[in-house]
Structure formats: structure tokens, C-alpha cells
Amino acid sequence: MNFYFEAVAVLDKLDAKKGSIKGVLASVPEKNRKRTAALVIETLKYKQVLNEVIDAAQLLKQEKKLSSRNLALVLVHDLLLARGIQAGDGPIKQAVLRHRTRLNGEFQRLKIKRGAKTQEELAQTDDSRAASIPRYIRVNLTCWSLDEALKVFEAQGFEQGDPLSSKKAFKIDDHIPDLLAFHPSVKFTEDPLYLSGKIILQDKASCFPAHVLCPPSNDRAQVIDATAAPGNKTSHLSAIMQNKGKLFAFERDRKRFTTLKNMLARAHCSNVEAVNLDFLTVSPEDSKFAGVTHILLDPSCSGSGIVNRMDHLLDNEEEGDGNYERLNKLAAFQLKMIRHAMKFPSVKRIAYSTCSIHAIENEHVVGQALKTEEAVVGHFKLAHREEVLPNWHRRGIAEEMNGEVDNASRLVRCSPGEDGTNGFFVSLFIRAGAEGESEGQSKLKRKSDDEATRHRPAKKKKKQSTATT
């Protein structure tokens, strides 16, 4: 039964809103993760149906050995929708099997009631917005070049074009030079390129923070990723730094820390020192971090912008005071992280990001941060739009920044499903006098841009129309 108890523990954490599905599953031991993930996801897809069947059969009322609803959910799922309960005989398994006939009868009645011809028709469908988001992969420049990657994909039969129009089409991203977009249905999790760390599966918007932070690529560079697990942004920072200098990656949770170390090893990040500590407990006066100039902050958030993961299966958006109270707690924590980062004596740039669409976690946090003692004494302000993805169209909401149009324009927003990304928010605090892009990042971007330009398909010249208007 241990397998089922592990799945129940994941569902309990999700009910308590202790993370996204992907994040919570990442804490499951790797040897059990694939099997546990499959059960959790399938149970969530049929959760509403399974709850109705369990209640109609009065299973929990009649069987006290079923200690929780989530335990009943995973067992009934396997009884009705899989190959049966995969556990040796015991009191808990028998407690469910005693009601097999009643449970199956209620399930068949529910199918008829809903007009479902197959059990798949009872499952919760995917978030429709996910269909407009390509499958993004970041070419890991610590291993090879964009030029080499393009040749490999073209040799596999992929052609440059609109990735949403064909499963064999892909394109170089317009904003992140080492990012490629493929059709949403293309899978890379078993691809040797992914397994060897040559490509990183990472949503486009998730690449923005490291790109905007723009750390230097020299042996003197010192950078912090304050909340590093699972490691995508950390590995991106390492690539931008060309594996030079020192990158401190903090993760307080022990299991997520193990995930982080495994990811960094696969991505060949040799300049990273992973630290199993809460960033907030680290003293800015510690001489070890005296030279840190760049800090990336991507703290816990509501995750309300994520649509192309599995989190549409969760009831994340509570109504009323409960959700408002939760968002306020998250915002207070996010502000605390920014204030702490501003205390580091040599820090020049702080990228703050969330995968939230809520202003309370985004514009409001940034606005409050600018008024703190740390910001005033440290002379921190928002970087000009020219330094924060200047060609990105969707910016901060001025109304949520007390009508400060200029400051709002310095922020970046992504709308889920509308911008070809998940929902996201990015800001960049800079210390007065620290404006401008780092030399190392400039060189890296120019090199990547040159490689990308060589492989972009030439635009066809439009025929001049002879019609008058």
C-alpha cells in the first residue's frame, strides 16, 4: 500500500496548496516518481466523478478504515478505471473491494446520466489555452551552440516555420536567442538531447528572468539564485555566465534540493554552488557573498498563470476572502524576499518574477518595494524599459501602479494563451548608477543572435500591388 500512501501524500499537499502538481511531484523519490505521477494525474482528471461515486455508495461512512477521502479516491480510481488495486490483500484493500458492485453500479449510472459512451468522456479536459502555447526548448549553451542544435533538428526532419501549424515545424524565438519553439504535441522527455542536458524544457516566459537579470560572464562574477529548484532558471543563468564566476543556488527544501543538484549535473553547470538553505536566513554581511552583484528572485506564488501544465486540474482559484487572504500572505513573503536581496552590499541588479496573473503579487509588490527603506537607502529603482525586453508588447498595468505609466512600462507581463506563453510577470530593480547591460551577456547575445540570423528563413518579398485605394 506504500505506493498509494505516497500518492495520497501528494494529493494532500496539493489540497493544502503547497505547490504546483509538477513541483510537489518533484519531491517524490525518483524511483517512484513516474508511477506516482501517473496515478495522481489520472485521479485528478476523474476527481469530480470519483467523488460522486464514493458519496453515492456511502463508502467513507461505512468503512472507517479508509482514513481519508484522498485514499479512497486513488483506490477507487484503480478499482474502476485501471487494472484493479495494485496491492497485496489487507484490511484497507478489502474495505474497498467489499463495495465493488455498488461502486461499479454508481459509476455506470453516472455515465448514463452524463451521456458518456466511454470513461474518457468523463475526464476533465485540458485548459484550452494550452493549445496556443508551443513546446519550448532552450538550447543549453554550456554544452553546444545554437548553430549545432539547428543542424541536428533539421537532420531529424524539422523545418523552420510556424510551430503551431505543423508537427515538423519549429522556429527560433524572437526574444530569447537560444530558445526554440515546436508544436505543442512534440515530446522531448525521452529524447537523448534532453537526457544528456543539451536541451532544457522551459517555457518562454520562464526564460525571461535570467535573460533580464543579465549576469556578467567573467571569472569575477558572483550571482545568487535565491529559490533555485528545480533548476531551469539556474541552468539558464549558468549558460549566460558561460560557466564562469560563481553562482550560488539556494533551496531550503531537502528533497527539492536533491532535484536541483541532479538537474544542474545533467545541465553541466560547473560554476554553481548549490546551497541547502533558506535564502532569508543568509546574512547579507557574510563575507562569502560580499561580491554578489546580481540576484534572481522567483519566490513561491499562486501559480495562477500556469495553463500548459496539469494545474488546471486543481481548484486553485478560490472565491472570496480565502483566496484574498492567501494572496496577501504570498505578497508579504515576496516583498520580504525583495527587501532582503536589497540588503546585499554589492548587489546592482535584482530580477523579481512570478508565474502569477494577480496584481497583488506583481505590480503591488513592486510598488511597495520601491517605497521601502532598503530601496530608498540603497537607491534602487526599476530599470528602464530598454533594459527589460524592450520589444515585448505587454507591459505592467498602470492602474495597479497608482497610475505611474512610466514605471508600469518598465514591467513585463505575459497573458496565458494570448502571448504564446504561460502567465508571467518580470521586473528588474537596479541600483542607481548600475544601468546598462553586462559585457559578458552582450557578447553572448550577439553571438546567439548571429547564429539565429544565419538560420532564419529569408522573408519573401511581397509583390507590389497595382490596385488603388
Domain with CATH 3.30.70.1170 in the chain: 128-201
Per-residue pLDDT band for 448 (boundaries 50, 70, 90) equals very low
pLDDT in tens, 179-217: 999 999 999 989 999 999 999 999 999 999 999 999 999
**Distance, CA of 216 to CA of 299 (rounded, Å):** 23
Strand partners, 380: 431
Domain with CATH 1.10.940 in the chain: 2-122
pLDDT in tens, 355-390: 999 999 999 999 999 999 999 999 999 999 999 999
Contact 246, 261 (CB under 8 A): no
Cell of 33: 516518481
Domain with CATH 3.40.50.150 in the chain: 204-449
Look at the domain 2-122 and name its fold. Answer: N-utilizing Substance Protein B Homolog; Chain A (1.10.940)
Cell of 341: 536581496
Residue 310 has pLDDT above 80, yes or no: no
Residue 306 has pLDDT above 90, yes or no: no
**Distance, CA of 224 to CA of 226 (rounded, Å):** 6
| Mean pLDDT calculated for residue range 125-144 | 87
Look at the domain 204-449 and name its fold. Answer: Rossmann fold (3.40.50)
pLDDT of residue 20: 72
pLDDT in tens, 418-437: 999 999 999 999 999 876 54
> What residue spans of 19-68 are helical by DSSP H?
21-25, 30-45, 47-56, 59-62
CATH code reported for the domain at 128-201: 3.30.70.1170
Q: How many helices (H) and strands (E) does the chain have?
A: 18, 13
Residue 381 makes CB contacts below 8 A (sequence gap 6+) with: 370, 375, 429, 430, 432
pLDDT of residue 321: 47
Catalytic residue among 207, 269, 301, 355: 355
* β-strands 246-250, 222-225 pairing: parallel
Residue 309 has pLDDT above 60, yes or no: no
- Residue listed under C-alpha cell 484550452: 128
Per-residue pLDDT band for 466 (boundaries 50, 70, 90) equals very low
Cell of 114: 452524463
Query: Can 355 be counted among the known catalytic residues?
Result: yes
pLDDT in tens, 38-81: 999 999 999 999 999 999 999 999 998 898 999 999 999 999 99
**Distance, CA of 413 to CA of 392 (rounded, Å):** 9
Which segments of 39-145 are extended strands (E)? 135-139
pLDDT of residue 26: 80
Residue 315 has pLDDT above 80, yes or no: no
